[in-house]
Amino acid sequence: MAAINNDKKIYVIVHGDRQNYDKVKSILLEKKLNEEKISMASLEKAGEIGEYVAMTWPPMAAREVIVSEIVGTNAEGQGLGAWSTIEQKELFRHPL
């Protein structure tokens, strides 16, 4: 697992499947990440460069969690919501 700065926020994206939020949070806590920094992502505002995203994948019938660092922005994002404009660097994957 790549090193994660425990002072930075981790946004959880579950693609509308809210029952997976607790599963993802448990996985992050097993990895010794800071519980106070874990929160559900919002479609209105994406995270900042240097923060993290834990996303269930694939969106329908998720089988894993992909944890990535936000490394940049792209004004021409594709997809829905603010998160479509961020650039990510994958750090690790974990089965859901």
Question: Domain for residue 2, yes or no?
Answer: no
Does the reported pTM lie above 0.85?
yes
Query: How sure is the predictor about 45, in pLDDT bands with cuts at 50, 70 and 90?
Result: confident
Q: What is the pLDDT of residue 67?
A: 96
Q: Which domain holds residue 70?
A: 10-95
Q: Which of 73, 86, 68, 71 is nearest to 12 (CA)?
A: 68
Asked if 11 and 37 count as a contact pair (C-beta separation under 8 A), the reply is no
Question: Domain for residue 15, yes or no?
Answer: yes
For the chain, what is the domain count? 1
Q: What is the pLDDT of residue 82?
A: 77
Element housing 53 (H / E): strand 52-57
